[in-house]
Amino acid sequence: MTIPTVTEFSGKRLFLYAPRFHGYEDKIINALLQLGISVDFCENKPQYLDPSAKRGKLIKTIFGRFQYRLNNYLEDCVYPIIEGKSYDILLVINGYSVNGELVKKFKEFNPHIKTILYFWDSHNLFDWSHLSDYFDVVYSFDSLDCEKYNYKHIKNFFIPCATEAIENDIPLFFVGTQTASFDRYSILLKLYNGMKKQNAFPFFRLLICHKHILHSKLLYFFIKNLPIKSVFLRNFILNYELYEKTKGADFIIYQPLDINLVQDCFLRSHVILDLSLPQQSGYSHRLIQALACGKKIMTTNVFITKEAFFNPEQIRVLNPQQLEIDWMWILDKQQFAFNHIVDGCQIDQWLLQILSAVKVPSTSSENEKGPANLPALK
């Protein structure tokens, strides 16, 4: 892939439609501005009853209100931003609040617009494959999804940071979110208690921010008393208790952390814990950044063992069902060199790769005059 120069996109207008995720959306916006691209942003917001979600699909189908909520969100929050404006590029990350009508609106008012879709979640969690036909180019961080759906593969990005003269005083680091499909809480609790026995204290923060669509005290007591429970039902019970604060731990939080604090604690850590979702082959932002910073990594992503760069001295794979921990390895402050597997993943280079697949026409003289003649949204 030929990476374009910065000047090829200078002066272009881009609409970024991305989730709010640990402040990464702001980093993307700042990097685009540094490339000379003007940006409008709107949150690509997760919606309740999303039929693309793999867990609880039947229940969501019965409720059947996702499309109504999605259309309302687009009408109230997205279309007012783009009305009367012209864009050269539409960059969408993930498929939460996306449908064909949204892309058609952009193309209706911007006939020459180039549309790009990037997935930083696996289709094993959300099956958004039906959206690919609406876009000029589709990327994914997940190599298995790329093979199955013929997407282009680009790893997640990392934020460059200085690593010199930083005290390594945190043995183990994790910051993330409890999800309905994967129990991170129980893994963290076992590791946290094990670290305390070693007289060492990790930096763990697990954000509880999602109230399950079926959140109900009556339903909770009914499910809790069932003799047999699926993984989905066990996670429902746990998420209810964590949200209602009837179960907890020192590392539980209910508001996101400041991104600068997260970055500081990350850099001070010996080992970065990556709790990837089951069957996800793509690497998280945190794992990519850990490789860039020469950190040791403990991950549940078994696919990393197939990589040419895999080094068991730097990377350990964690089995969530049978935790076997080498505490001495965690407490050892050894650092490793920059891993060149992440070449091209620095956020500005990542964006240029993302944009490289589309040829944006030169700005016309009509567009230079502004978007005054564009039709109003219907």
Proportion of the chain above pLDDT 70, given as a percent: 85
Residues 6+ apart with CB under 8 A from 309: 291, 339, 340, 341
Q: Are 106 and 115 in contact (CB under 8 A)?
A: yes
Q: How confident is the model at residue 370 (pLDDT cuts 50, 70, 90)?
A: very low
Mean pLDDT of the region 24-44: 94
Same domain for 178 and 102, yes or no, is no
Asked, for residue 130, whether it belongs to a domain, the answer is yes
Mean pLDDT of the region 79-99: 91
Entry pTM: 0.84
Lowest mean pLDDT among 68-72, 313-317, 364-368: 364-368
Closest residue by Cα to residue 37 from 86, 89, 81: 89
Q: How many Å apart are CA 101 and CA 74, to the nearest integer?
A: 10
Asked, for residue 378, whether it belongs to a domain, the answer is no
CA 220 to chain centre: 29
Q: How confident is the model at residue 374 (pLDDT cuts 50, 70, 90)?
A: very low
The domain in which residue 184 lies consists of: 170-342
Reply yes or no on whether the pLDDT at 50 is more than 60: no
Domain count across the chain: 2
Closest residue by Cα to residue 347 from 4, 29, 92, 82: 29
Amino acid at position 62, single letter: I
Q: List the CATH number of the domain containing 302.
A: 3.40.50
Reply yes or no on whether the pLDDT at 61 is more than 80: no
Same domain for 266 and 126, yes or no, is no
Same domain for 90 and 152, yes or no, is yes
Predicted pLDDT of residue 133: 94
Q: Are 93 and 126 in contact (CB under 8 A)?
A: no
Asked, for residue 375, whether it belongs to a domain, the answer is no
Predicted pLDDT of residue 251: 94
Amino acid at position 190, single letter: K
Q: How confident is the model at residue 376 (pLDDT cuts 50, 70, 90)?
A: very low
Pairing, β 89-93 against β 38-43: unpaired
Same domain for 115 and 130, yes or no, is yes
Asked, for residue 1, whether it belongs to a domain, the answer is no
Mean pLDDT of the region 140-168: 86
Predicted pLDDT of residue 51: 47
Same domain for 148 and 175, yes or no, is no
More confident residue, 131 or 376: 131
Asked, for residue 57, whether it belongs to a domain, the answer is yes
- Sheet of 315-317, strand order: 252-253, 203-207, 170-177, 269-274, 296-299, 315-317
Reply yes or no on whether the pLDDT at 287 is more than 90: yes
Lowest mean pLDDT among 8-17, 42-51, 224-233, 338-347: 42-51
Q: How many Å apart are CA 184 and CA 107, to the nearest integer?
A: 41
Phi, psi of 187 (to 5 degrees): -65, -45
Q: How many Å apart are CA 78 and CA 229, to the nearest integer?
A: 40
Reply yes or no on whether the pLDDT at 259 is more than 90: no
Asked, for residue 377, whether it belongs to a domain, the answer is no
Predicted pLDDT of residue 342: 83
If DSSP codes are grouped into helix, strand and coil, which group holds residue 175? strand
Predicted pLDDT of residue 373: 40
Same domain for 183 and 71, yes or no, is no
Same domain for 11 and 133, yes or no, is yes
Mean pLDDT of the region 205-218: 78
Predicted pLDDT of residue 308: 83
More confident residue, 290 or 213: 290
Same domain for 183 and 147, yes or no, is no
Reply yes or no on whether the pLDDT at 371 is more than 50: no
Same domain for 120 and 101, yes or no, is yes
DSSP-derived letter for residue 98 is -
Q: How many Å apart are CA 44 and CA 49, to the nearest integer?
A: 15
Predicted pLDDT of residue 368: 42
Predicted pLDDT of residue 42: 94
Q: How confident is the model at residue 33 (pLDDT cuts 50, 70, 90)?
A: very high
Q: Are 151 and 340 in contact (CB under 8 A)?
A: no
